[in-house]
Structure 1
């Protein structure tokens, strides 16, 4: 472990955050209020038998707090040592569109004992996600393809079809999403989290936000700074991921460039049964050549959506595999097979109902958070520039999602991330992350200023803490959650 000095964008934070003398919920009789929640058995398989679920009612529209209510389903595994209990740790999921309802049973049980002793582990399904009050756009099945949800342009770089798709999908959301889809946003999720805190009877709330969950956590610490206890942000979003520059999507440009060299080194290693080429440089050139060939001569791919392997589907398979190095072999096998003119079986797809729900929540969040340009010329110019500079992603990160045709203007200004508020945030970040690259995480670190300390892992993959990080980084996060102790300055873990 050494002090992080690689970038001037990292602002060293001084001091150590120490735990308060009282548990976070002790000052106002929190435990008594929490009993008002009706905890029942959670639905689902493979859950820890200790996990229980309850429902919290919140306003659909916070500007009309006494109007229509919607339900949020939450889950809890209580502290394993009540004498050591500090409070509640909310697990904020990524996405947008993900949920953390099962996380107390899975991710939570990877935490060391002292963390599980200190907290009730809390999961939830954000507004719009089933089994909370759910929303769906009822999209055409073909529009649920990952290569449609990520807006890959045509083989020649044209965005014309993307604009048609955006209009069709946004029309479906407007027609089928009901009133709720207009009230799905990052700020409303932050408000919902504070209602969950209150329902749990906690004066303050600790949280572990992952990926898009770091943007939600950023909103929460800005909107409710004095309701926060210990906050961990893991795999960090650019602090302005959905504003005019569309930085959330654009992050894939750099993310792929950060991860591809690691894949290329692995895929050219002697003795690797899935070896693609003799050198890392050859891996890259062969991938680009294969994608170009498949754009011109696609292969049938039964069971896939769409049922062809073209250049776009190969690039999407690359993007998916780069989230976790454990998935490198599947990409290598696809490349090797496609070069021979064959295709391995298509990976199983999630149930359509789940994809419909996930997509609708994601669309509502991204499109309601901030306005996107509607002029095709804006996207065509950006895509052309991106294709020239970042050939691996072929212009996708600057293209038009369905937000380009979204019929509802944003109801409020985007999230603000600032350095005002308690210094109680620890950021954990992998150096090579396809979805939330270090370059964007450094922007969040800069925006938070003295409020945060950052730990960067010499590691590859999305989700840093306890999954794709380092023992050094895991230890620092666990210590912070259990004791409140942070590094005095930003740290690099190798």
Structure 2
């Protein structure tokens, strides 16, 4: 759930490989760290490190090591290159991703065509990790701000957000936080490509990975190969506007959950119609605003419901929690919350804040957030007063070191955008935005589906077939395409 001068030139001008010629492989593969071995089992991965500049404006200065993983193609006759992976965050570990895709049933033709390359991006896990030193008992429970029931709640969140920004600055012992940006990570991708001895690299990114992939394809059009961007943020950064779109996403996706629950009224008793289920949501949220149950307050309830919309596999557990709350079964609520308890996500949260705050300008005016919360509470009542609430980015100690990466329509037609019509975190409008910016470089594959993630993470055969054909055969749809449910 923890479910974003020279600098300007680096950010906005299409970049090419450092040497301008075919690279030579420089990677020495070996065993992966124990935690990656355990997460990937039974699939066996190889791991290696690639040195990159901490600050690309000072390429001869301090360097950090980026750890990458590989699941090699076992069919040399069909292998065509490498497919680099990033499935979100920013801040999520990624070394086990090749194995994760195998366990989810990625087609064998893709495994034959590519070496799958996972990685912990800069600042994450085994790649020069950073830490704000978050603790489990402090008043910061997620990077999406809590739902603000009134104006006073916004002011209280401002106090917390400012203290979090100060905490991150205080614990930035070696000055790495300011160098965690999407642009720098995209530069790391091209260094990894070169270190692997590849003239070009393909990329599959989902959620925040779509922003990273959009930056990579824009900065390195000549060395990016086939690019698939799934569940699209709509930009090369997760800024204030992208954060607010969570509210739209929840409004568009919640009806699918409500319909599922209403069809099972005999099992859960939460409403006979989707409208009644929606009423139950507001009733439970309001009740928890007044009196939390087993430590679960209204803000956490709303956030948990949002996360449950990521896929239908989560619907039953959330409906069960609603049922326990509706009957005020405190013991059952405690048991369900304990079953879902997660370890503290200090590193993930720290990287998320650093990247999202460094990537773009955030308003420093608290009144701006107060107004946004009031507007979105009315326009998007399910979640608007959360995603519009104030972030630590408003008080972040560093200004963006360079402008946000501009998406370019100059380059090969190599970007396939894949998007559910109803997505709680990255609504369809994000894919539409990227389609407009990339122009003829891209095609949009829209799916009559619900949830976060289409390719491999969804179950639409049309979307799977179109995406696989592109990755394996390079067959880009002639025009934007729609896949029925």
Q: Tell me the residue number matched to 1:37.
A: 28
Query: Are residue 133 (structure 1) and residue 104 (structure 2) matched?
Result: no
Give the secondary structure class of the aligned counterpart of 1:466.
Answer: coil
Shift of 1:333: 1.3
Query: Are residue 279 (structure 1) and residue 273 (structure 2) matched?
Result: yes
Contact (CA 8 Å) 2:201, 2:223: kept in 1 or not? yes
> Of 231, 252, 256, which residue of structure 2 is paired with 1:235?
231
Q: Distance in 2 between matches of 1:42 and 1:366?
A: 28
Q: Tell me the residue number matched to 2:399.
A: 409
Shift of 1:412: 0.2
When residues 423 and 468 of structure 1 are mapped into structure 2, their CA distance, relative to the original with a 3 A threshold, is: same
> Of 209, 212, 228, which residue of structure 2 is paired with 1:213?
209
When residues 335 and 342 of structure 1 are mapped into structure 2, their CA distance, relative to the original with a 3 A threshold, is: same
Contact (CA 8 Å) 2:208, 2:238: kept in 1 or not? no
Give the secondary structure class of the aligned counterpart of 2:401.
Answer: coil
Structure 1 segment 34-113 matched on structure 2, within 5 A: 34=25, 36-44=27-35, 45=38, 46-108=40-102, 110-113=105-108
Q: Distance in 1 between matches of 2:42 and 2:472?
A: 22
Query: Are residue 190 (structure 1) and residue 181 (structure 2) matched?
Result: no
Query: Are residue 321 (structure 1) and residue 302 (structure 2) matched?
Result: no
Q: Tell me the residue number matched to 1:335.
A: 322
Give the secondary structure class of the aligned counterpart of 2:145.
Answer: coil
- Indicate the RMSD between aligned Cα atoms, in angstroms: 1.8
> Of 115, 133, 137, which residue of structure 1 is paired with 2:110?
115
Q: Which ranges of structure 1 fall in alignment gaps of 5 or more residues?
A: 1-26, 302-307
Q: Tell me the residue number matched to 1:361.
A: 351
Give the secondary structure class of the aligned counterpart of 1:58.
Answer: strand
Q: Tell me the residue number matched to 2:250.
A: 256
When residues 470 and 145 of structure 1 are mapped into structure 2, their CA distance, relative to the original with a 3 A threshold, is: farther
Q: Tell me the residue number matched to 2:297.
A: 310
Contact (CA 8 Å) 2:229, 2:418: kept in 1 or not? yes
Contact (CA 8 Å) 1:251, 1:397: kept in 2 or not? yes
When residues 271 and 169 of structure 1 are mapped into structure 2, their CA distance, relative to the original with a 3 A threshold, is: closer
Give the secondary structure class of the aligned counterpart of 2:347.
Answer: helix
When residues 42 and 144 of structure 1 are mapped into structure 2, their CA distance, relative to the original with a 3 A threshold, is: farther
When residues 37 and 270 of structure 1 are mapped into structure 2, their CA distance, relative to the original with a 3 A threshold, is: closer
Contact (CA 8 Å) 1:222, 1:418: kept in 2 or not? yes
Shift of 1:490: 0.8
Q: Tell me the residue number matched to 2:17.
A: none
Give the secondary structure class of the aligned counterpart of 1:164.
Answer: helix
Contact (CA 8 Å) 1:91, 1:122: kept in 2 or not? yes
When residues 49 and 473 of structure 1 are mapped into structure 2, their CA distance, relative to the original with a 3 A threshold, is: closer
Q: Which ranges of structure 2 fall in alignment gaps of 5 or more residues?
A: 1-19
1:70-114 deviation digits (Å, cap 9, x = unpaired): 111000011120111101000123011113210111214522121
Q: Which moved more, 1:183-192 or 1:36-45?
A: 36-45
Contact (CA 8 Å) 2:259, 2:273: kept in 1 or not? yes
Q: Distance in 2 between matches of 1:160 and 1:383?
A: 11
Q: Distance in 1 between matches of 2:301 and 2:32?
A: 42
1:383-433 deviation digits (Å, cap 9, x = unpaired): 011111111115111111110110111100012113221101111111111
Query: Are residue 439 (structure 1) and residue 434 (structure 2) matched?
Result: no
Q: Tell me the residue number matched to 2:219.
A: 223
When residues 270 and 190 of structure 1 are mapped into structure 2, their CA distance, relative to the original with a 3 A threshold, is: closer
Query: Are residue 351 (structure 1) and residue 346 (structure 2) matched?
Result: no
Shift of 1:350: 2.9
Task: Give the TM-score of the pair, scaled to structure 1.
Answer: 0.88
Shift of 1:446: 1.2
Q: Distance in 2 between matches of 1:111 and 1:297?
A: 45
- For this pair of structures, how many residues does the alignment match? 454
Contact (CA 8 Å) 2:121, 2:127: kept in 1 or not? yes
Q: Distance in 1 between matches of 2:377 and 2:62?
A: 46
When residues 413 and 391 of structure 1 are mapped into structure 2, their CA distance, relative to the original with a 3 A threshold, is: same
Give the secondary structure class of the aligned counterpart of 1:70.
Answer: strand
Q: Distance in 2 between matches of 1:418 and 1:223?
A: 8
Q: Distance in 2 between matches of 1:440 and 1:157?
A: 29
Shift of 1:39: 2.8
When residues 332 and 409 of structure 1 are mapped into structure 2, their CA distance, relative to the original with a 3 A threshold, is: same
Shift of 1:28: 6.6
Structure 1 segment 368-379 matched on structure 2, within 5 A: 368-379=358-369
1:177-227 deviation digits (Å, cap 9, x = unpaired): 231111000000000101100110100000101110010011111111100
Contact (CA 8 Å) 1:56, 1:196: kept in 2 or not? yes
Q: Which moved more, 1:171-180 or 1:232-241?
A: 232-241
Shift of 1:342: 2.1
